[in-house]
Amino acid sequence: MKAFVPFLAALALGAFGLAGAHAQGGGRTPPRETMDIGDEPGRVSTEEVTITEGPFARQTVFFRSSEAPGTIVIHTSERFLYLVTGKNRALRYGIGVGREGFTWSGLVKITRKAEWPDWTPPPEMIQRQPYLPRFMAGGPGNPMGARALYLGSTIYRIHGTNQPETIGHAVSSGCFRLANGDVIDLFDKAQVGAKVIIRHGPTV
């Protein structure tokens, strides 16, 4: 998603701190460039779109962690989201992350989930991209994609996208995007109340 006022969210999350988990993901380091691309409301991307090849394809990987199964750990610098499954394993998804100036870290929980969520760009985003609609109902042409997981009381979400080519890039205003097929898979596995840890990179 697209989001807005990242520093306010960072301040709000700062009181939480990060859990003392130790984690590491396998695979080669993905590209770290920022794509100069705006949202494209109305562009249709079906729920079947999934990353099937390359480092951003969904896969089970070694992941050293003391976190409980069901915990989500996001490494923004690597463009990966990990769903902890236990026994030092996790299901890894490729993601798009916030572009420069819109990254953040913290500890939150999933507060709710939505299928084909509506999208209401905030004023700050409208100012940056004045062509955007003031409201858009959920559906295949919605930039929020097929599913959304809402993060705490922040404006940020883990959500799908109608721009699957942006996975692996820094493109958003602070939210974390997955291809629609991948976010549906995560949506079905992740529970409301689950812990979400956002880091800039792995710690050992």
**Interval 80-103: pLDDT, tens:** 999 999 999 999 999 999 877 677
Cα 141 to chain centroid, rounded: 18
Distances (CA, A) of 139 to 3, 12, 162, 177, 198: 19, 31, 10, 16, 28
Supply the pLDDT for residue 8: 33
> pLDDT tens across 112-132, in order?
999 999 988 878 778 888 888
Both ends of the chain: CA-CA distance in Å? 29
Q: Which CATH class is domain 6-25+42-199?
A: mainly beta
pLDDT band per the 50, 70, 90 thresholds, residue 45: low
User: Hey, CA dihedral for 184, 189, 192, 194, is it positive or negative?
Assistant: negative
b vs e for 72-107, b when ≥16 Cβ sit within 10 Å of the residue's Cβ? Answer: bbbbbebbbbbbbbeeebbbbbbbbbbbeebbbbbb
